[in-house]
Every structure is written in structure tokens, then in C-alpha cells.
Chain A
Amino acid sequence: MWDYSDKVKEHFFQPRNAGVLADANGVGDVGSISCGDALRLMLKVEPDTDIILDAHFQTFGCGSAIASSSALTEMIKGKTLDEALKVSNQDIADYLDGLPPEKMHCSVMGREALQAAVANYRGEVWSDDHEEGALICKCFAIDAVLIEDTIRANELCSVEDVTNYTKAGGGCSSCHEGIEEILAKVMAERGESFKPGTPAKEEAKPVGMTNLQRIRKIEAVLETVRPQLKRDGGDIELVDVDGKTIYVNMTGACAGCQMEALTLQGIQQKLMEELKEFIKIVPTKAGALSRATCHP
């Protein structure tokens, strides 16, 4: 049985805004009946203000698909179209107190139905660019298509590479056999054969960036979060960059703050997105790590 949150169960058992919305002026039909999940989102938009007055859904799908649809309608009602489009699939999942990794695609479907319905209202054609494969890495919810595309685009040749580029395989490591199979297949396409134990591509440096450029980029990212930290009476400074590990100092009110681990996680995510590689951020001030482990 799936480990659904109470919120998911509640939205499944008592879905909000289910059924046909008679005077809808924006409708989005998305999903794939072969995968067993499909959703129709109906919006009633006030033309002068672009405000979503009402939103209804019909869903062919599992518990989390129905719950995600229900949550989405609740989240977007009263918003303008532009505000509503800012709702990400992660926001839908967060609203439901999380979804199992296998079920994250349900929240993606909700987000796409929203895009499709808005496009329909605006008289545009919405085309879908997202493709989904079998789930390979359950720890980070990475599917086969993403892994395959990443291997092809970057000419990767080891499991470690794949982990560096996609995170897949970076957790419990039980999917390494699956990753090796994809590697073998894609490498065969380019006339190579997969050899286990091949060292990872050179130090996972993003293509075309020198050490100096990389450090500048890191500084630039830290600069963007600095104002927020300063507002709370703290600050962050870059100490060292050693391959994939980035050492920082949390200073002022940030040092020892209960939220430190959470803050660092957010910064780490931002850095990964900007650098397009898998990095780890490590606070250097003694105690920061042990404090983090003290708060389970």
C-alpha cells in the first residue's frame, strides 16, 4: 500500500470541485490513458481581470491523481491566470504534504492540465514537451527517459557520471543495475561498450567552465541569497571549493540557527541548478554538522 499522507487521503475521499463545470471557458485535457492517469481541468475565467472564478476537474486515475486534481482546483481559485501558472508540480505535492516518488507524475499532470486549460482559454495551442519513462531511481524519482537523454547529450559512460548529472543512483544504489543497462544501450548506439569501473568523466566539471568561472558563479548564487540572510541578521561566506564539495561559513544569526540545515539545503539546490551538476554544500564551522544530526 502506498504511504499516502492524510491530506492526500482526505482529498481523495472528499474531492473538492469534482464534476463538470457548465460554463467553463478554459478546458485542458491531459494525461495518458495507457498509463492510467488522465485529467480534464475546467476553468471559469473572468475576462476583464483574468481571475479564475471557479475550477472543476474530472479524473480517470488513482488516489493521488484524484487528490492532486482536487488540490490544484483549490489552489488556483481566486488567482489570476499568471499567478496560477506559477503553481509548480512541487507546490501541488507540498499542498498535499508530499506524494510518494512513484506518484509525483500525478502532480506533474495537474500542472500540465493547468497550462493546457490556460492555453485553451487564451486561444493558444499547448504542446507537451515532457516524456516519461519507467521509474528507475526511487530515491530521487528519476525515470529512464531522463537518464537516457542525459547520457546521450553528455556522452556519459559510468554510473557515477549518471549520478552526478541526474542524481539517479545517488541514494540507496539498488538501481545501479538498471542504470548500467541504460548506459550499455546508449553507449552501444555511439559504438562504445560499457565497462563497469570506468572512472567518471573528469571531476564532473560542467562543460566549458574553468575553476575561476565556476567559483564566480558560486559567488553569484550566494550573492542572490545574501539579502534574505542579512534580513534575518546573518550571512554566508564561501570558504573553499573542492571538486563537488563546496565549503561555506554561516555567520551572524545564521550560525547555529535551528533552520541552518534547511537553509543550506535550499542554497545547495539553487547551486545545483545554476552549476548544472551535483554538488554538496558543507558548513565548516565546527558543530554545524553535529547540530544538524542532533535534530533528527
Chain B
Amino acid sequence: MEGIYFDNNATTRVDPAVVEAMLPYFTEQFGNPSSMHSFGNKVGLAIKKARMQVQELLGAEHDSEIIFTSCGTESDSTALLSALKAQPERKEIITTTVEHPAILTLCAYLEKEGYKVHYLKVDGKGRLDLDEYKKLLSDQTAVVSVMWANNETGTFFPVVEMAELANAAGAMFHTDAVQAVGKVPLNLKDTKIDMLSVSGHKLHAPKGIGVLYLKRGTRFRPLLRGGHQERGRRAGTENTTSIVGLGKAAEMALEAMAFENTEVARLRDKLEAAILAKVPRSFVTGNPDNRLPNTSNIAFEFIEGEAILLLLNKFGIAASSGSACTSGSLEPSHVMRAMGIPYTAAHGTVRFSLSRYSTEAEVDRVIAVVPEIIAQLRKLSPYWEGDGPAAEPEKAFAPTYA
């Protein structure tokens, strides 16, 4: 039996058409796009085409606003560090408590360097308080960085509105949109978003390719200096094959946009509704009314996520979890904790993330398997008795810290 891959927020398979588009650039089209001869020129033209394909997916006004990078993390780091370097008089950053580590770890580092970082809190459904945000914006704010959609729950943030507010305060606005690009229609030319990060492998392009969208007129300081590639904004010989692949993937994502938001969303909803109906003491985390069409994050109370994943894996089903154990850290997912999900549920969260390749049969199979797995693990749980949680579970089992 072929495996069921419901972990598309982690990474996606490269579409065969994308691979096909890339192949010639490993072999006959091997030239350096910076070279004057025809070997280089053809590759240069291919990159130009890819740039326009990405421009179209993002709804950017100019193709020169697209800078190819090596990954989403590089785009994030470039954006934030550039904003700080370009506006040395502004020493503050505003972000959220639920960002990806690509932002949070960088911010923790910048705090050590003397910058002040404000972390916006979220409510139980993962929503921001815009009044809190408005109060924090000031002439000290260098950059605001807020993700478009949360990677764990899929919940959207109102980035377009937040960018307007940042712009009015004279601050730059960056959004880590790696989960949103390819799944939601974008029209950046009509927004005040200055910078946006894209990661190729989240939209069926290969790993190791990313994009930083940089609105024309936004002051910029490169992270990598050297040659004149990407108009001097990102030095280093272009990853030509992957750029071509990302261009093709962007074109295909645009074509599949409607499908993603109807059919994929329908499969996700079916999966989620069936699991919630069959498994007692389970609930959806994040905001189900305003989220990515492919993502469902379900908390199964009184059991632990890694154990769930190992059993799912035995049935050939791939998903991911916010449990501490999957990452080797001591705390469950910072996103679940920020939403105030209790520990007994936060450790048992499982994220199912579908793609346009997911099928009805796969969804049915997962619906059939999940309830047994949950029941099996609950039999081992000290919080569970028979068919339900122990009466007053927190009291029934209150271990000594060890």
C-alpha cells in the first residue's frame, strides 16, 4: 500500500511537471546566467520567465520585486535584518508569539543585540488583538513581522490591514507567507506589504529555493554581498534549476487555486468532521472559520502526540504533532501554549495537512484508522478509565515532577 501523506505543511512532493521543467537545466542548459555567451543567455531567459511566473502568483506589480533566495528562513532573516540596517534610528520590532522559529529565534537573537521586540498575544482561537497592536506601533518601530497563516493551525492573520497600520506609522511590514502562498489568492500590488517570504517546497517546488518579495521603493540592505546577481540584492550564483522549478510550480499553483479552495477544503472538512464525530474528547485548535483550506489541527485529550504519530505511521499515514517529544524539546508547541490549550491536550495535537494530490479514498482510510489508534493509546493513559476520562482527571493523576 502506498503511504498517505497528510503532512503538506511540512513539505510537499515536487510535481512531476516541475521536475520535467527542471531537468534540462542540470544538463544541456548548464550555463551561468551571468555569462555573455549563449550558454548563459538561455538560462538567464529561463530565470526571467520564472520570475514573471512568481510575480503573477503573488500579484506583484513588477517582476524586479522578486528576489530568489535559498529558503523561507533566508528570506525572513534578510527582511528583518535589512529593515533594521536601513533604519538605524528605529530600534523596535513587533511580531507575534506564534511565529515560526525562523522569526522567533532571530528575534531572540536581536533582543540580545539590544533591539526591543514586542510579541503580540493570541486568544484561545489564535486571533490577534489589533488594539494591542495599534498601541505598540510608534516612530520607534522599524519593522512588523506577522505570518500570513499559522503553520500549525492554518489560522490567518489580518496582514493586509496590519500592513496599512504599519505603513501609517512609518514602519516597514514583513509577512512570512510560506504557508499561504499557493493556497490563497494574493494581490500584493494593492497592499502596503513591503516584504513577503516564500518557500518553494511548500508549493510542490523543490527544497532549497525561496523568494523574498520586496516592494519597489522599500529601502533595502542585502544580507549576502558579492556579485551582482538579483540586482545586487542577493549575491551568489543563482540556483537555476530550482528557480525554473519554482516558476513552474507557481504557474501550476495559480491554476489550481480554485481547486485548492473548494475540493481540498471539502476533503479537509470531511476528515475533520468525521474524526470529531467518532473520537470523544477531541477538538479543533485555531480558528476553523478563518484558516488555510488544507489544514486541520485536532487535539486528542489525555494522550501524547508522538505515540499517535508512531501508530499512524504503522498504518502508512503521515501527519505531525505539536507534542514536545516530536521535537526533543521540553515544552509542547509554543503555538498551542500561546492559545492556552492545557498540557493534557497540547501534547496530543495532530496536524493533518492535505494537498491537491490528496484523495477521497485516503481521507476515508484515515477516518477509519484514527479512532482505533486514539482508543488504543487511551487504554494506556493514567488519565483515562474505561470509555471516558477519569473523574476529575487532573486529580486522578497528579504526578510528582521528575
Tell me the A residues contacting B by CB distance below 8 Å. Answer: 1, 9, 12-13, 15, 18-19, 29-40, 57-66, 100, 102-103, 108-109, 112-113, 116, 126-128, 130, 132-135
Contacts and interface: CB of A to CB of B under 8 A. Distances in A.
B88 interface: no
B330 A40 contact: no
A129 to B, nearest CB: 10
Contacts of A62: 304-307, 310, 323, 325-326
Interface string B311-331: 101100000000111101111
Contacts of A64: 325
Contacts of B324: 35-36
A33 B330 contact: no
Interface residues of B, number: 33
A32 B401 contact: yes
A65 B314 CA distance: 18
Given A18-B379, A58-B380, A62-B304, A29 B331 contact: no
Contact of B399 (A32, A63, A65): A32
A103 B332 CA distance: 15
Given A60-B303, A60-B382, A61-B304, A13 B402 contact: no
A32 B402 contact: yes
B287 interface: no
B399 A33 contact: yes
Interface in B380-398: 380-383, 397-398
A126 B307 contact: no
A15 to B, nearest CB: 7
Nearest first, the 6 A-B pairs at minimum CB distance are A62-B325, A102-B328, A62-B306, A58-B382, A36-B347, A30-B402
**What's the dominant secondary structure at chain A's contact region?**
mixed
A34 B331 contact: yes
B400 interface: yes
Contacts of A116: 400
B293 to A, nearest CB: 28
Given A36-B332, A58-B381, A60-B381, A65 B304 contact: yes
Nearest to A125: B400
Given A18-B380, A19-B379, A36 B328 contact: no
B382 A29 contact: yes
Given A60-B302, A134-B329, A134-B330, A29 B400 contact: yes
Given A61-B304, A108-B402, A38 B325 contact: no
Interface in B160-186: none
A253 to B, nearest CB: 43
A245 to B, nearest CB: 33
B307 A12 contact: yes
A37 B347 CA distance: 9
A59 B399 contact: no
B343 A36 contact: yes
B344 interface: yes
Given A59-B381, A60-B381, A134-B330, A109 B304 contact: no
Nearest to B322: A36
B216 to A, nearest CB: 38
Contacts of B326: 62
Nearest to A102: B328
Contacts of B397: 29, 38, 40, 60
Given A60-B304, A63-B307, A66-B380, A30 B399 contact: yes
A38 B303 CA distance: 10
B397 to A, nearest CB: 6
A109 B302 CA distance: 18
Contacts of A30: 399-402
Given A18-B380, A31-B400, 15 more contacts: A9-B310, A12-B307, A29-B400, A30-B399, A31-B401, A31-B402, A33-B399, A36-B305, A38-B399, A60-B302, A60-B304, A60-B381, A65-B325, A109-B402, A128-B402
23 contacts: A12-B310, A13-B311, A15-B380, A19-B379, A32-B401, A32-B402, A33-B347, A34-B332, A35-B324, A38-B397, A40-B382, A40-B397, A58-B380, A60-B302, A60-B347, A60-B381, A61-B325, A62-B307, A62-B326, A63-B325, A102-B328, A128-B401, A134-B329
